Structure 1
């Protein structure tokens, strides 16, 4: 059920999981990705038709490299005169032709010339730690030494090695071990030159001696250990959008990520930076083996990112792509006597790697993709029938046109990024899915909007979503959170599982929720019923009321609020001072409040009063535009309210929508309108706002009813390995909940355990300063019986375990 998904996004690998400390070590990062051009600072892909749209799109992206040698700089003192330049003559290797040229015109005896690398927003140097330095150099008319240093942010030397003889017209490799005698989290690496002349540098690499499992060219230990501690069943790699590239030519090529790291040309990530491919195909497979996970290899199917350029290779090239994929599989699991098995063996791994899954593309959808998928499926299954083949079915939910065109697939990959509250509103989402002859992989999921940068509210949403997947484990057999890793200096996605900088790291609360739910999986599900009464004392919809539109011109009048049979507000002649008018273009015309400009969410908020249980009546008339009417209510602030949307989705649907901080609206109870809202006709709208429900009427006819979502969720199962019952509970409110647990058909021992992940506020988060403030705690539970009481903590995920009595 629980795996991990790694993608090169937010420098999650380059400058993160991959242990290299030097940024732009091969001086290749100012090159333009293959197949693209540079125009006024923007990368422009081939202007050929989009794979799905069928027309050329004008997408382009900023190119982050601002000079010829990103992350490198020159410092001179004492009157030295020198300059840096990128050089393509006499390359170290043809695959990586760029090198850095340093021309030193004059060097007084007390002067210095230093070539400096900033690392990835600093280099974290630890006292007593050893670092392996490797670089290649050639010279002309240079007769001096070269001093390698790690230098703190305040200019102190932390480690140093002097290379006495650095000269010669041919490329030479130099190595040394730098051992730090002090620490600094923002150090730089410097190569200091001592004489006039010309020096070329290439492939300047600095690695900590201690990597994960002490592998050369290895991984950063703390980040790799986070992943290993999740005990993932599989690792999905390398993407995500990364696998698609921004042009077919720039997409990842597994062959180019093999062999000596000096000869790997790198891959440009659609997230705006170069990956050195030091963490390549072999390293991915090795990491899977190291942590006991199966490998899930995603390959490009000849289509670049459809959310971006969408350019593609014609069908005539598919045979070449098929051949490449079969060779990649042979490298991973073929016998060592095979062509690519021999290559693997030469890399030090004669035995097969644990490759179990391959996925055809990423987030592709439609009949055209399905036909291409069928070609790959047939070719792979014929040669490797044991492998399971995944279809990239697109974002949010399964694509029926794609399914109809797919001949056969083993697993469908669905992605689910949702705002706060969605998992509670749609806790039964997968209960309703049809069962077919394939299984479901939720390859990317996260509660990533309305939850800060990843607070306990996100963890509760994620945990509720996981409970829904586990309850439907006959269908949903695999899942992985995304994105996995985020360097805080390059945030591409609002919420990520593990945050880090050059020297520190911490895991979000959702990490610990996933970890504890994975560690406490049951062997089988047990039928579970949950009865959690909704709070009928505290009104759920207290707040102000308003009027709004979406791409529509609308008039409103006769706004009336009734409480306990009394009219407590009536607009009569509209008084402008009673309303806060923002966005769009509002006009007050005696008894009418009119929105006369198309746009998203212009708001007229009744500022003078708030209400809890009441009836709201008004009249509305559409005068132009695409949709119809929006009625905000339960308005606490601009980022926390509900609304009725009549004539949504191009005037076809009515729905309740919940808006939370930084999130897209969550749609609830949508119903199709019998007829679109007509132009220039007055409609009578009525909302009956009760304690836990809201009824919406249009012209006296009830359209729909909103019910307050549940806030307590639970599933149960039996762990056959330990002989225990496992009960998982999510409490998504800020009060302790006494619950009665009744276990039918099984007798339990009286003592058990509870593993609890809880916080004091929905906004609570882990941080660099308190990285493990909110982690699971284990405590004993007594008095377990056929029926027993237990109090779940506020804002909590709880796992109860109780041993089954033997007959």
Structure 2
């Protein structure tokens, strides 16, 4: 069924577009889906030190000396963490997955510094713990300290501690001593050795644990400072929970958040916050998965959680802090809980069904903590934390990226228990990391919202601009819980922003189905990149948001109330070829032979291989041989390439013969090869010889840009096939043995939606221009009269590879300008590589 408001006559180029004008027609009388007020939220996960060493304000790494412990339920073997060797939840067999343990000594991030003949040593100690939940402490055994000597323990922070001149920092640590009668001096020291701040505790007090606090005020600044505790006499001192916080945190909260990063999130005006993950929710074993109860209460007593991304989180940003942040930014809370299954992309070990009662009870307790009255068991605990009123918890999600019938049956158990006690909550079902899982949906008895995740390479959003138009409408709604154009886009350039914006336009147009979305991942400390493309990048001192951040923010800020029917007509270019470039031959995990390569143009042969010569082809990857007029690739691997040198073609027919001699897939035929950064290819026998697709390759990353065509039967071994590509101006047709297999049409490069903002009384038109030239357009709005002057909010770049950076953090941000001359029909020129929002006030009829 054709969905609302999508009619695009596609493809334009510089010459045709400059000669003709794009038409955008908006019907003020024809409304579509109401735009969901919850369409844009944010998703936080402990990945790439996004929280620990990022959003969470703590400046000391490994403050409790707990980060050399092995995650619960796991063992350490030859430097690798190994989860329990029990069957995988989906595979049904034990998988031999393990992950490197990053801690290289007993006290990560800490070191000993001595000078002037002083002698001391450090050791991790588990005797006389400060608290049983956090049993490790650091033992400092000082043998001698000459008058000119020094002994210090040094913390490197999170790749440095950012110290701001005149800023104040709250220091807390615990210590006990044995035969030590000296002072303890706390210092912030610059990378050049300059002392930035100092406080002297004149005497360590007694044998038992004592708490020490001070405020350090920096007399100078340094982006890569260290923290040091220095000792003046021989003796033994134990340290635990050494914490340093900036006095200034987001909303001035104790145990608070880093202001610049939290403000980025607040400025997105999220309708909801999804927490705590992601793979983080699943953990690498059931025992090591996040436990919300252990993240409550005094931070000194929180044992922490090991992130599947390879480091410890102190859980300082715990369940209460998450709920508090939601309240602070006016967002609803979405709590994602572990459903008894560890990460299926890793170990997949799980809790048996007969033990689910404990997990169900824990989930209901978590909800009661957020919503229960202050005289309920867990509401009373919340009240003791200073928050007697309920928190804004609205959504709960059962697991993360689980899918299938087995998960669905488990979901049914949680859904029933939650809805019986809290019918007002929305309960979400995971659908895995691809699109909607039909086996999951068929087995689920009832759900409120389905959560699908959509990570796509450059080009996908344009090729599938109508993706959600085609989804069936059911008695549940859709949440795109993790999405991003995250491949072939550098660290997140303008190409990514154009793809993300196009994707969002599709979400907004389909708001009757897609009511929620959140980009992922959110935050990245540039010193620990666990995921290639993230929304906000930072180090200890600096931060910047990618262009996609600003695209999401402006499209959220300019949401309409209801969609209006919109038709876009882009003048077709029948002159300029879209697929100019070289041709090639390739494989994927397959051994293949090629021969009789021929290119014809206008009925004339312009290239013919005849006896194939190796020197005519640039050969990279794999193992290429020429034998008996055949070019053979004889090694498994991804994308070995034979590129015909010195010849470029535009509209033509490519014919060749191909034979599979081994391996898993079949044939790959690159074309429109301009350079190694951008080309297309036909992939025949993809997905283990099951389908045929067209793909783009952008900066070494492939994206499927056509609907996969299922093969009637796999390509056979040792049989010659005749493959023909008929490359037109804007289409490519692929034939096998004379029969048409599939056709590719160049996708649109201009996308638009429109809506009516009932709060402001305006028409809102949103346009993505994904080409490198200005796009003149004539915009017609029927059935409404507009005021003569509107505004344009434009996010544009000079090239598709442009990015924001630490050096120029706001180089590419939205700019607002007036737009005069608005009427029922008006002209506007959309900038190259741009996302534009046009707003015009609806003129009210004069009273009679």
* Deviations 1:527-569, CA, capped at 9 Å, x for gaps: 1111123443332111111112223222221111112322111
The alignment status of 1:107 with 2:160, answered yes or no, reads: no
Match of 1:699 among 737, 748, 767: 737
Task: Give, in whole Å, the separation in 2 of the partners of 1:681 and 1:104.
Answer: 78
**1:123 match:** 161
Alignment of 1:680 onto 2:714: no
**1:256 aligns with one of 283, 294, 307:** 294
The 3-state SS of whatever aligns with 1:389 is strand
Alignment pair present for 1:287 and 2:310: no
Residues 792, 819 of structure 2: 8 Å contact kept: yes
Give the Cα–Cα distance (whole angstroms) in 2 for the partners of residues 159 and 669 of structure 1.
Answer: 62
Could you tell me which of 516, 536, 552 is aligned with 1:514? 552
CA separation in 2, counterparts of 1:185 and 1:598? 48
C-alpha distance in 2 between matches for 1:676 and 1:141? 79
Q: How does 1:326-365 map to 2 (within 5 A)?
A: 326-365=364-403
Partner of 1:641: 679
Determine if contact 2:459/2:705 at 8 Å carries over to the other structure: no
Structure 1 window deviating more from structure 2 (189-198 vs 533-542): it is 533-542
Aligned to 2:40: 2
1:300 and 1:217 map into 2 onto residues whose CA distance is 25
Alpha-carbon distance, 1:621 to partner: 2.2
**2:618 paired residue among 568, 580, 583:** 580
Within 5 Å, which residues of 2 pair with 1:203-352? 203-352=241-390
- Identify if the C-alpha distance between structure 1 residues 335 and 99 changes in structure 2 by more than 3 Å, giving closer, same or farther: same
Q: 2:772 matched to 1:734? A: yes
Give 1:162's aligned residue: 200
Deviation at 1:684, TM superposition (A): 1.8
Q: 2:492 aligns with which of 454, 458, 461?
A: 454
How far did residue 682 of structure 1 move?
A: 2.2
CA distance in 2, matches of 1:672, 1:213: 55
**Structure ranking higher on relative contact order (CA contacts 8 Å, 6+ apart):** 2
Partner of 1:142 in structure 2?
Answer: 180
1:441 lines up with 2:479 in the alignment? yes
CA drift of 1:630 comes to 1.5
Is the CA contact 1:100–1:202 (under 8 Å) kept in the aligned structure 2? yes
Match of 1:465 among 503, 508, 515: 503
Q: Which residue of 1 aligns with 2:414?
A: 376
| Structure 1: distance between partners of 2:108 and 2:711 | 56
Pick the aligned partner of 1:409 from 423, 443, 447. Answer: 447
SS of aligned partner of 1:243 = helix
Residue in structure 2 matched with residue 781 of structure 1 by the alignment: 819
What is the TM-score of this pair, normalised by structure 2?
A: 0.94
Instruction: Tell me the matched-pair count.
Output: 807
Larger deviation, residues 617-626 vs 255-264: 617-626
> Which of 383, 393, 397 lines up with 2:435 in the alignment?
397
Kept in 2, the 8 Å contact 1:550–1:598? The answer is yes
C-alpha deviation, 1:597, in angstroms: 2.9
Q: Is the 8 A contact 2:458 2:703 kept in 1?
A: no
Q: Contact between 2:459 and 2:703, CA under 8 Å: does it hold in 1? A: no
Question: Counterparts of 1:590 and 1:264 in 2: how far apart (Å)?
Answer: 70
What are the superposed Cα offsets for residues 695-716 of structure 1, whole Å, 9 maximum, x if unpaired? 1112222222111110000000
1:613 counterpart residue number: 651
Distance in 2 (alpha carbons) for counterparts of 1:199 and 1:537: 81
* Whole-angstrom distance in 2 between the partners of 1:623 and 1:80: 71
Instruction: Find the counterpart in structure 2 of residue 531 from structure 1.
Output: 569
User: Which residue pairs with 2:593 in the alignment?
Assistant: 555
Gaps of at least 5 residues in structure 1 are none
Out of 30, 34, 50, the position equivalent to 2:88 is 50
Q: Aligned partners of 2:313 and 2:429: how far apart in 1? A: 26
Find the aligned partners of 2:622 and 2:808 in 1 and give their Cα distance.
Answer: 44
Distance in structure 2 (CA, Å) of the matches to 1:421 and 1:611: 22
Question: Match for residue 460 of structure 2?
Answer: 422
Q: Could you list the per-position Cα deviations for residues 642-699 of structure 1 after superposition, in whole angstroms to 9, with x for gaps in the alignment?
A: 1112222232322211111142332414222333323333222211111111111122
| TM-score (ref. length: structure 1) | 0.99
Contact residue 441 and residue 477 of structure 1 kept, 8 A: yes
Match of 2:629 in 1: 591
Matches within 5 A, 1:711-722: 711-722=749-760
TM-superposed deviation, 1:445: 0.4
Q: CA RMSD in A?
A: 1.0
> Does the CA contact (< 8 Å) of 2:723 and 2:734 recur in 1?
yes
Gaps of 5+ in 2: 1-38
The answer to whether the Cα contact below 8 Å between 1:457 and 1:763 also exists between their aligned partners in 2 is: yes
Of 80-89 and 652-661, more deviation after overlay is shown by: 652-661
Query: Post-superposition shift, 1:723?
Result: 0.4
Aligned to 2:583: 545
CA distance in 2, matches of 1:152, 1:786: 63
Shift of 1:165: 1.7
